[in-house]
Amino acid sequence: MNWSFIFATVVTGLAVVFAVLIFLIVLLKIMGRLLSAKPRKKPAPMQIMPRKDSFKLVAPARPVTVLKPVPRVDELQVIAVITAAIHAYGEQAGKRLRIVDVKKRELNTRSAWGNMGVIESMR
């Protein structure tokens, strides 16, 4: 048994395997960048804003309509309407449903950064 020949064969085999793996990694990274490259938009040129002195106050062309405030709806009335709808649905389905608890919850529980992440991922 020639140990130097066995050692040389093992080292050569490992070197070839790792060289091919590194080559495949580099090839896949290059292909990924080429195929997923998004065309970059050039930023819009900065516009110079006019000074406030150059604005003239002009009367509106047509009269401005003032909107009346919408009357606030009592939260208990809304809960009663939702409860009645759930009860009616339960009767149609042949089930007896009841509301156990009502908890007030904020509509937007994400941070501004989280909202932007969701918007970006939905594009």
Q: How far apart are CA 97 and CA 86, in angstroms?
A: 7
- For tokens 């009335």, what's the residue? 77
Could you tell me the two tokens for 26?
């580099």
- What is the predicted pLDDT for the residue at 12? 96
- What is the predicted pLDDT for the residue at 24? 97
Rounded to two decimals, the pTM is 0.31
- What is the predicted pLDDT for the residue at 17? 96
Q: Is residue 97 a contact partner of residue 86, using CB atoms and an 8 Å limit?
A: yes
Could you tell me the two tokens for 114?
């989280």
The Cβ of residue 86 has, within 10 Å, a number of other Cβ atoms equal to 13
Q: Among 83, 118, 89, 84, which Cα is nearest to 102's?
A: 83
pLDDT in tens, the chain (123 residues): 788 999 999 999 999 999 999 999 999 999 888 887 666 677 677 666 666 666 666 776 777 777 777 777 788 888 888 888 888 888 888 888 877 887 777 776 788 888 888 888 887
